[in-house]
Structure 1
Amino acid sequence: MTAPLADRTLADRTVVVAGAGGIGGRAVCAALTAAGAHVVAVGSRAESLADVDAAETAVVDLADPVAVAAWAAELRDRRSSIDGLLHLVGGWRGGSAPDDFDWLERRVLTTLRVASRELRDDLGASSAGRLAIVSSASVAQPKWGMANYVTLKSAAETWVQALASGWRAKGTPTAAVTFVVGALDELGAVDDLAAACAALWSVDHEQLNGALVELTPAS
């Protein structure tokens, strides 16, 4: 069933931005706030969230299921619905060393897995639930020097596809999307990401759900 156009706006929707303190997270929070969303900016350190353009901020270890469950329960008590989870938690280490894999896994995959499991039913109950992650163009051409990183980004993409499949099977007006970028420090990349995230609620869920959207900044 297609949500009415009025239900696919951002006005007063509760959107959680994970990794809000990073360059991409800050831009996305600003774009969502400008569009009328109630933005919940989440990060692992209070100082990283200073001056983020959001209705509220929260310091949460998104890799800790107990901490995430407690935070989500408190959010549900205050907001009538949770309509979006934008996972922008960053992290980069090259190579294939075990320690680097563990460091990246916690940030790239575990935070996504824990947060999305906790909020999955909330997003499914929304009249226009949206989940999005940012992946890397390097996943399509993996190299040994980036083995850990591309492996975990690929796993994150697979997790999102599984979420998309579950929502599709239930017939809910919910969508899980993967944005693919080269690097956020490329000219225009952050602005393109912010605009794409804010536009998620203006596109029908059937068109979005499971989509792999390449964001290629103009040079």
Structure 2
Amino acid sequence: MTDTTEQGYQGNGNGRLEGTVVAVAGAAGPAGQATLLRLAEEGAKVVAADADAKRLAQAVDAARFAHGGATVTGDTVDLLDLAATREWADRTEKEFGRIDGLVHLVGGWRGSSTFAETDLSHWDTLHDLLVRTVQHTSLAFQSALERSGNGRYLLTSAAGAGRPTSGNAAYAAAKAAAEAWTLALGDAFRKAGGEAGPPAAAAILVVKALVNDQMRADRPNAKFAGFTDVKELAEAIAGTWSKSAEEVNGNRLWLTPKP
């Protein structure tokens, strides 16, 4: 597994994703909203999904409004249902003729003050949010991403997965499991391509935590040291298509200093 700095993934903002179709899971949150905007700006046709229909509609409308003429659609999908997730992938490929990316932004956090106070119900919740949804989207979209010839499966993860703290045992373990699953997908892409190189790439974008404009407004005195702005994350996501699938596949792309 190779570590790559964010610098190599900076974009030029000139529509480098024209003609691509990118699905975004967990699109209604701040990171999802920023990603929809950036992908639309780069010319991609964006297919967004979230369990929150109201917030999803707002995010889709904002991306359309910001980039006139952009194709941005939204689906309310239960990503804990493998059949529903496969149906979303099949429907998307049938409608647009291809799928060039799945950006996985489904998140959630649970924690405790100490290791001894860990509530194992937190694991159950985080397993569903952070692991099961990754399993379902990866299984549902693998074949379409391979058919793309330059597909991307992109997972956003946390630096804490590699250095868990005592109160974050469930969260860090779930993030680590999701990373391992994503890297296994990357190995499947590698094997599918053989000597020609992988037809798609699976990669992990690593942050300490995310910050957005609303958080800064709510806490004007907070420093958010080491946090990654959601716009910076969105730029890094779009920038992964500026490299070959072989260069991206199996990598952890650090958007925060490595611990």
TM-score normalised per structure 2 = 0.77
1:143 is the counterpart of 2:165: yes
Q: Match for 1:174 among 179, 184, 200?
A: 200
Report the AA paired with residue 181 of structure 1: V
Report the AA paired with residue 209 of structure 2: A
Structure number, greater radius of gyration: 2
Q: Match for 1:113 among 124, 135, 138?
A: 135
CA deviation map 1:30-87 (0-9, x unaligned): 0000000000111001112132226100000011012112222222221111110000
Q: Match for 2:19 among 12, 18, 34?
A: 12
Deviation at 1:183, TM superposition (A): 0.7
SS in 2 for 1:63: coil
Q: Match for 1:92 among 99, 109, 121?
A: 109
Which residue of 2 is the match for residue 74 of structure 1?
Answer: 91
CA deviation map 1:140-181 (0-9, x unaligned): 211220000000100011011101111111113311110110
Which residue of 2 is the match for residue 206 of structure 1?
Answer: 246
2:16, 2:54 → 1: CA distance? 31
Which residue of 2 is the match for residue 159 of structure 1?
Answer: 181
C-alpha contact 1:60 1:68 (8 A) present in aligned 2? yes
Deviation at 1:188, TM superposition (A): 4.8
Matched residues, number:
210
C-alpha contact 2:25 2:49 (8 A) present in aligned 1? yes
1:50 is the counterpart of 2:57: yes
- Identity percentage of aligned residues: 38
CA deviation map 1:15-38 (0-9, x unaligned): 011000011111011000000000
C-alpha contact 1:189 1:216 (8 A) present in aligned 2? no
Q: Match for 2:154 among 122, 132, 136?
A: 132
1:123 is the counterpart of 2:145: yes
Q: Match for 1:25 among 32, 40, 60?
A: 32
SS in 2 for 1:50: helix
Q: CA RMSD in A?
A: 1.6
TM-score normalised per structure 1 = 0.91
Deviation at 1:204, TM superposition (A): 1.0
Contiguous gaps of at least 5 residues in structure 1: 1-7
Deviation at 1:190, TM superposition (A): 1.1
